[in-house]
Amino acid sequence: MTPPPTTSLLLLLLTHHLTAAAAAALLVLLDPSSPSARKRRRLDVLDGESDSEEPEPVPPTSPEPERVTLPLPPTSPDHYPLAFRVSAPTFNFLAGLLDPLLSHPSLPSSTLLALALARLATGLPYPTLAGLFRVPASAPRAASRRLRRVLLANFRFWLAFPAEPSSASASSPLPSCRGALTCARFDGPDGPLAAQLVAGASSRILSLAAGFRGDRTDLEVLKLSSLYHELEQGKVLDHGQYLAGDGDGYPLLPWLMVPFPGPAVPGSPEARFNAAHDAMCRKARRTVRSLKGWGAIARLRDEESPRAAVACIGTCAMLHNVLLAREDHSALAPEEAETDLPAAVQRRADDGDDAGVEDLEIHRRASAFRGALAASMRGR
């Protein structure tokens, strides 16, 4: 049996392709270790309901050993997608970009990055990772916490609507649609957690809000998010743009399009609109499946606190976007097969039936807009 690589060999494998950190020098970076950063009660990029300080974790006294069949640490570039859910070139890109920020008294930044990514990719316990990488017992936990803090403090722009809205909506199955809105549930340490996201036509995450109670409905989560208030105030979207609501929990609004209710006549504008709407929502569902493919999210209940779980979701979301920007599909879930429209479309009721006078007027305007969109799709 071949013995595991020594520490010096591991460091050589992780650093022999590192690029310069010139990209990081162009960014105005905040110091996440400053007292003001430590006192933040909420992750700015994630506006959920969990706002308590994350407690200092207590290492387990007798962790149970876990059998590992993954190539950890990787000994070949081909192993990186399995070990880290990123390709070797993407690992080197991140290592060069984050080198000034990932610091440790005795370990290079590339080793910290490897430990943090291995934790996110596999969800393995920290003691198991320490044994595999032959590093001090405290190193994997410190690396994981450091990467999350660095990304969430300095790279929030990785989770944002693109500066040029036309480029984002040009490839959308729906005309002028900026993205699909959906809400996912995760098994958190204190119970289910809800996370709302908007995904574009490329499955890139444009907005993320996590940390809501998992028993809240999709509409309740939406109305609690800052995105809802910004959209109601006419921000984020340009005139004539909108989002597609995934699932039957969202109402029809001027900026939120839902399918036409009931079975549509095949070949009709309503049927074409519903099919394109579902195609757009499949992009968001693919994004959710991609996030749930990260081992740490699959084991989110093992996190020290709900706040740590939210930070884990945010970190994986940022890495998801980085991978897409680099055309690295190591962590991208397969596309959803195109099937008949979901039953939610068939049973959706007329959203304006029980609305008040003001809400009814909003519904009428939204219905007219949806009808115009459907009519414009005759040639698509």
Q: Where are the domains of the chain?
A: 165-375
Q: Give the least confident one: 6-20, 62-76, 135-149, 251-265.
A: 6-20
Rounded alpha-carbon distances, angstroms, from residue 300 to 134, 188, 371: 25, 5, 42
**Torsion over CA: 67, 70, 71, 74 (sign):** negative
Q: Which residues pair with 192 in a beta bridge?
A: 187
161-197 per-position pLDDT tens digit: 987 765 555 688 999 999 999 999 999 999 999 999 9
91-141 per-position pLDDT tens digit: 999 999 999 899 888 889 999 999 999 999 999 999 999 999 999 999 999
The pLDDT of residue 41 is 33
Rounded alpha-carbon distances, angstroms, from residue 126 to 84, 168, 358: 15, 39, 55
The pLDDT of residue 379 is 60
Label residues 124-163 b or e (16+ Cβ within 10 Å = b): bbbbbbbbbbebeeebbbbbbbbbbbbbbbbbbebbebee
pLDDT range class, residue 11, cuts 50, 70, 90: very low
d(CA 339, CA 351): 25
Task: Please state the pTM of the whole predicted model.
Answer: 0.81
239-283 per-position pLDDT tens digit: 999 999 998 899 999 999 999 998 899 999 999 999 999 999 999
d(CA 191, CA 216): 12
Sheet of 191-199: strand order equals 205-213, 191-199, 177-188, 242-245, 256-257
Within a 10 A sphere around the Cβ of 217, how many other Cβ atoms? 13
